Each structure stands twice: as structure tokens, then as C-alpha cells.
Amino acid sequence: MSKWDRLKAVPMPKQPPHVRIRNFDEVALGYNEEQALIESERCLQCVNPQCVLGCPVEIDIPAFIKLLRDGKFREAILKIKEKNNLPAICGRVCPQEDQCQKNCLLGKRGDPVQIGRLERFLADWEREHGVEIPERLPSTCKRVAVIGAGPAGLTVAGDLAKLGHEVVIFESLHEPGGVLTYGIPEFRLPKRIVQAEINYIKKLGVTIKTDTLIGRLYTIPELLKDEGFDAVFIGTGAGPPIFMGISGENLSGIYSANEFLIRVNLMRSYLFPKWDTPIKIGDRVAVIGAGNVAMDAARCAIRLGAKEVHIVYRRSRAEMPARKEEIENAEEESVIFDILTLPVAYYGDERGWVRRMECIRMQLTEPDEIGRRRPVPIPGSNFTMNMDTVIVAIGRRSNPLIQQTTPGLKVNEDGTIVVDENMRTSIEGVYAGGDIVTGEATVISAMGAGRKAAKSIHEYLMRKKY
């Protein structure tokens, strides 16, 4: 290590691009002990730490970094876990650059402290050295049903179990984890990490029932009336994928990002035919959209052997919603960015398989009063590209099943569930949080909502006031 520089972050060791595009192993390898200690030395230990204000679950960041710096790794991870049940996940997928690290004083003159990487280091250290299970409070004999084993549901469940409540999570898929399992690829978030974090939640006393679709097998009124639950938390996440509704979109070879990622991640189709679920990838792949999901899909496509993968995005680079880190990773892996480009139609062959994509060039308007630049088509700029696989990653709507089967549950026009500042819905004892409330957002914001809901549910159960 060269001369120590407080303004320079210790770089994250990564698999080199030419190697990692041939495997699904984790790209970022994580700090070793020495790297973590050097990075932790950079923290200024501010008296008024701004980083904490940027954390949706309010981790005492300076305190855990201080403990880490002093070599007290066990104490440091427990400090994180006071607020966050899933640190190995957050350390990997949180957009720290827009949250805690954005507020770091060092960031004004150099690199902010790499809080996420330190969090990940501690979580990984703990997993290797044995996870301590905190003692639960004595049983309250109250039962809570949590719908959905994603980031929001797992957080609510963990928090409430620690407080002595009996918690059952109902998960519709065959594996818990929600988007952590079916959505985020192995190379960004290894499934063994997700499983370890879920095991921790189970060890806190939480029961997870997979293959259970609430709305069909039980409705929420049934959970409260017949199944003996005192409260319900709805954390069902985002639902059906959005398509553009353009000509040819139902040709074979056009997947929603959801379908593509579910096949690859949840069903392990990158291991086909050892695993049974197939995925078909052509030589030329277009991914429509430029969020994190689009980057994940593009990078999966590269690994599955596509010769050319394009990100097709109607706005410019500056507006791309994906994390900068993920855009860079995609670029390093030779993903091509077609910005200011909008698909208008798809054309297929005689077997109904997509072959060509017609696009139109876009330009951005001058900023309006709120500073937004709208993309508008440039008339007559249509052109076609040959593509044999298309992945549509332009977002998802709200899952409607719970709303349809729960009389009296107030929902917004877009199908999201209405809650107050304490995550209470319009029905007594029923709470909601995560994407089903906010629309598509981040893992950590869902966890923040879960944390808040847990607090509110606990108060309700102990005082029975709504």
C-alpha cells in the first residue's frame, strides 16, 4: 500500500472484466482485513455525523467504524445489527453514494469513506466467524403475519421476532428473499449470502412458509379472523412488468426483465440443462431501459454468451437511473449504450421469433420549470437494428391481488397501498411497506419502511390502539 491519503478510498478488488464475463461469480471481491482497517482510518468521526442522516435505517455509522478501527469486529457488526438485520446484503446493493456516503464530509474534497464496503466486510467477517443470535424478549403471545419474504418483510419479521412476537412470513415463491433471490443476479449478490441472512432471520424465531400466495390461499380478513393473527404486514413488492405496447412486442425472444431475471437467478437457468429451466439468448441482445434492473439483465446476457448487448435508453446518460457503479461495470463488460433511442416496433421471422427492432432517435427538450428535460422523437429518424433477443426493463406495476381480495383497503390510482406516516393502512391491524406502497424503489428503502412498520406494529400489539 502506498502512502496513506485521507482523501483517497481504498479501491475495491474486483474480478477483471475479461474473466468475470465468463462466470456468474461475485464481481466485487470485498475488502480484506488490512484494506478495511486502512479505509476505516479515514473516517473523521464527526461530532455531528451527517452520514447517519442519509441512512434509511439510521445505522450509527461512526460508532461501528470506530469499533472496526479498534479491531473489535464482533462489536462493530453488532452495532450495525442494532438497526439492520441484513448487513451483508445492504453492504452490497445499497446505493450508498446517494445515501450515507453522499453526506460524508470527506466527499467534499475527495472520496467519501466507503461505508458500504466496510459494512460488507464486517458482515462477511461475522458469517465466517460465527453469527451470534441475539436473545429474544419473552413471548408476547401476539401473532403477526407478514406477506412477502423480500427486504421489507424480512426486516419487519426480524424486528418483531426480537421483540417477542410470533411471526410467520408467507412467501409465494418457492424460495424466500423476494427481489434479493429472484431479481438481483448472483454476480452482484450471491445467493449463499442471501440464504445466510435469511437463516439469521429464521434463527430469530421467524417461520417462513413458501409456496403460499395470500389472496388465493388465504385472504387478509381470513388471516385476521380465522388464522388467529393479531396484525398483518403487506410487503408484496412490485408486480407485473410494464411493456411498451408497441407492435411485435409479444414475439418470442422478447422477455420482460422480470421473466429473464427469474429464469436466470431464481431458476438458475445459467446452469441449464443441469437445472431444468431454459433460457434462450441470441447473439444480439437489446435491453430496453437504463435502471439497475436493466444493467443486471444486460450483464447476465453477456455472461450467457451474447456477442453484443445494447442498453437502449430514450434519454441521455445523465438521466440513467442505474447506480453509477453498475453503469461502469456494464461498460467494462462491453455493454453498448444506445442513448436517446426509443424502440417503436419489433419484427420477427416465420417462427415468430424477434429478428429486428425499429427505433427512433430522441432529443431532450430544454429544462422545464422543475428542471426536467423531456425526451421527444426526432421526426423521420427511424432506423432498424438486428436483434434476436430483447429484454424490456422499463419498470413494473403494483401487484393487484391483495387489493382485489381485501375489502376496505385503500389504494392509490396506480394500485399502490395508502399508508400513513406509521405505515398503517386503512384497515385496523394491517400495515404495508416497500414497493407495494412506494412503487419501485430500493432494497434499503423497503427495509427502512419495514423497520418503521415493525415499530408501529409493536406499539399497536402492546397497546391495541390504532
Partner 1 sequence: MYKIVEKREIAPRIKFLKVFVPEIAKKAQPGQFVILRVDERGERFPLTLADWNKEDGTITLVFLEVGVSTRKLGELGKNGVILDILGPLGNPTEVRNYGVVCVVGGGVGIAAAYPIARALKEAGNKVVSIIGARTAELLIFEEEMMRFSDEFYVSTDDGTKGYKGFVSDVLKILIKKGHRFDLIYAVGPAVMMRAVAEVTRPYKVKTVVSLNPIMVDGMGMCGACRVTVGGKTRFACVDGPEFDAHDVDFGELIRRQMAFLSEEKMALECWEANKRSKEA
- Interface positions with partner 1 (CB under 8 A): 172-174, 182, 210-213, 216-217, 239-241, 243, 245, 249-250, 252-253, 255-256, 258-259, 262-263, 267-268, 272-278, 280, 351-353, 399-401
DSSP 247-283: BTTTSBTEEEHHHHHIIIIIS-GGGTTTSS------S
- The dihedrals phi and psi of 363, each to the nearest 5 degrees, come to -135, 160
Cβ(235)–Cβ(148) under 8 Å? yes
Answer for the pair 389, 285: CB distance below 8 angstroms, yes or no.
yes
Would you say 209 or 373 has its CB closer to partner 1?
A: 209
Asked whether the beta carbons of 132 and 78 are under 8 A apart, the reply is yes
Residue type (1 letter), 393: A
Min dist. Cβ of residue 288 to partner 1 (A) = 13
CA distance 411 to 401: 12
Residue 243 in grid coordinates: 411493456
Written as one string, the DSSP assignment of 9-74 is PPPPPB--HHHHTT--S-SB----HHHHHHHHHT----SS-HHHHT-TT---HHHHHHHHHTT-HH
Q: And the C-alpha cell for 122?
A: 464486517
**Minimum separation from the CB atom of position 389 to partner 1 (A):** 11
For residue 158, give the 3-state DSSP assignment.
Answer: helix
Residue type, 397: R
- Indicate the residue type of 226: D
Question: By C-beta, is 87 or 248 nearer to partner 1?
Answer: 248
Min separation Cβ 364 and partner 1, Å: 29
Q: Say what the alpha-carbon torsion angle 179, 181, 187, 191 is, to the nearest 10 degrees.
A: 150
The C-alpha cell at 303 is 455472461
Residue 352 or 367 with smaller CB distance to partner 1: 352
**Which residue lies nearer to partner 1 by CB, 41 or 259?**
259
Give the C-alpha separation, 364 to 378, whole Å: 10
Q: What is the closest distance, in whole angstroms, from the C-beta atom of residue 200 to partner 1 in the complex? A: 22
Across 323-348, b (16+ Cβ under 10 Å) vs e yields: bebbbebbebbebebbbbbbbebbeb
CB of 161 to partner 1, least distance (A): 24
Query: CB of residue 220 vs partner 1: minimum separation in angstroms?
Result: 15
DSSP H helices, 304-442, are 324-332, 401-404, 435-438
| Least distance CB 239 / partner 1 (angstroms) | 6
Q: Which of 200, 138, 144, 189 is nearest to 169 (CA)?
A: 144
Rounded to whole angstroms, how far apart are CA atoms 330 and 333?
5
- What minimum distance in Å lies between the beta carbon of 405 and partner 1? 12
Minimum CB separation of residue 263 from partner 1 in Å reads 7
- Nearest approach in angstroms of CB 23 to partner 1 is 19
- Least distance between partner 1 and beta carbon 438 (Å): 18
Transcribe 163-186 into DSSP letters: TT-EEEEE-SSSSS-THHHHTS-T
